[in-house]
């Protein structure tokens, strides 16, 4: 009789442990808003790798998960790449920074990025490279022109009268970008939760269906997926009319519904661009990059102590990960596919600020953000 009781007790214990494990796994798989980080514009404001490590330390201490590097803009193309002619052999090294001899653009060598990724791994932080296309490519075009790659420049790009130089949304442009992205991605592949941001913001004023962009984004994002990296993109090109035609494996970084347009233009964009709730309903994973509360734009006004205090306090009082468009939290009933959020520190193309000043000034803003995210995740998971 005692033997049967022991056997029965063992079965019960195993059953209970199995239930606990299943429940734990289910909870982990449905957790949301737990991938949070900092996006740093390193194209308009270059930072030494020592400063980048300090940002990683802050993210780690605040229980954050990633640092996204905006490598591409009209000013600079911020990473070594032989495809556009930006290599160490064509650069000079000064105070820990590589500088293109011809264009004077500052950039990171692939070896520096390898070392940074290794440092970030020890802190459980993922480094996400962003090569923003089809717009925001002025820096890399300048690099190519400086190396007399004018024929290639003509083949892959054109001049948008409003946004400047852009990559063509055809097979030639897409294939060039795939090659470019594959080269940039190499130091960042072997990470936990490896990702690559494809850009996709501020490239068109049109609200009409854009099948060329759908093709372009699908083609470039699938190439990233083949590298075992998660493709990410800004929300601008996700229109209501085409939302189900774009690769559902893309994780969308949602910054603004109207692209900060006002009046008639804003109303038109609200009708054409997919809202964050629409994207969630369509099955996309989305990250909240709310540009009203979560953007720290470097200028003399914002760097004043009283304004930093105000921005941090305003975020703490009014923002949470469900607030997706300025003050709009409406129509979000299920947060499962809100994957996380990011604060973004954007540079001033006309002025460079001391790195230590940027780091010290933005720390409180970053700390406040992570505290909100961590408290929200604990409460909702």
Instruction: Identify whether 242 is a catalytic site residue.
Output: no
> Rounded CA gap, 128 and 174, in Å?
21
Scan for tokens 């540009």, then name that residue. 291
Tokens read off for 346? 């954007």
Closest by CA to 185, choosing from 173, 175, 194, is 194
The answer, yes or no, to whether the previous bond of 160 is cis (omega within 30 of 0) is no
CA 160 to CA 228: how far, in whole Å?
33
DSSP string, 86-110: B-GGGEEEETTEEEETTT--EEB-H
Helices (H) and strands (E) in the chain, counts: 11, 14
Of 202, 232, 242, 339, which residue is the catalytic one? 202
Residues with catalytic function: 202
């Amino acid at each position: 009789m005692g033997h049967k009781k022991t056997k029965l007790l063992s079965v019960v214990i195993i059953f209970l442990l199995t239930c606990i494990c299943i429940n734990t796994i289910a909870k982990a798989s449905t957790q949301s808003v737990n991938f949070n980080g900092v996006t740093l514009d390193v194209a308009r404001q270059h930072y030494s790798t020592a400063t980048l490590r300090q940002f990683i330390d802050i993210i780690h201490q605040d229980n954050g998960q990633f640092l996204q590097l905006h490598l591409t803009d009209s000013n600079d193309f911020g990473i070594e790449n032989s495809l556009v002619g930006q290599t160490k052999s064509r650069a000079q090294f000064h105070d820990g920074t590589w500088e293109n001899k011809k264009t004077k653009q500052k950039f990171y060598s692939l070896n520096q990025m390898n070392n940074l990724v290794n440092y970030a791994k020890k802190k459980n932080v993922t480094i996400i490279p962003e090569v923003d296309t089809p717009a925001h490519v002025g820096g890399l075009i300048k690099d190519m022109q400086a190396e007399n790659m004018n024929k290639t420049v003509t083949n892959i790009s054109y001049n948008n009268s409003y946004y400047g130089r852009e990559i063509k949304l055809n097979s030639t442009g897409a294939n060039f970008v795939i090659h470019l992205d594959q080269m940039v991605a190499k130091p960042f592949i072997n990470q936990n939760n490896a990702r690559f941001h494809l850009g996709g913001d501020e490239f068109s004023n049109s609200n009409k269906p854009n099948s060329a962009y759908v093709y372009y984004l699908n083609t470039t994002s699938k190439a990233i997926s083949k590298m075992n990296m998660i493709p990410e993109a800004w929300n601008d090109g996700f229109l209501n009319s085409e939302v189900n035609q774009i690769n559902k494996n893309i994780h969308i970084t949602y910054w603004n519904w109207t692209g900060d347009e006002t009046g008639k233009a804003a109303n038109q964009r609200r009708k054409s661009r997919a809202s964050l709730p629409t994207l969630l309903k369509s099955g996309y994973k989305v990250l909240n990059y709310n540009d009203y509360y979560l953007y720290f734009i470097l200028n003399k006004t914002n760097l004043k102590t009283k304004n930093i205090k105000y921005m941090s306090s305003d975020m703490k009082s009014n923002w949470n990960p469900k607030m997706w468009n300025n003050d709009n939290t409406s129509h979000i009933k299920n947060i499962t596919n809100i994957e996380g959020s990011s604060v973004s520190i954007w540079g001033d193309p006309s002025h460079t600020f001391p790195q230590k000043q940027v780091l010290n000034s933005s720390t409180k803003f970053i700390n406040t953000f992570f505290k909100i995210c961590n408290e929200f995740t604990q409460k909702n998971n």
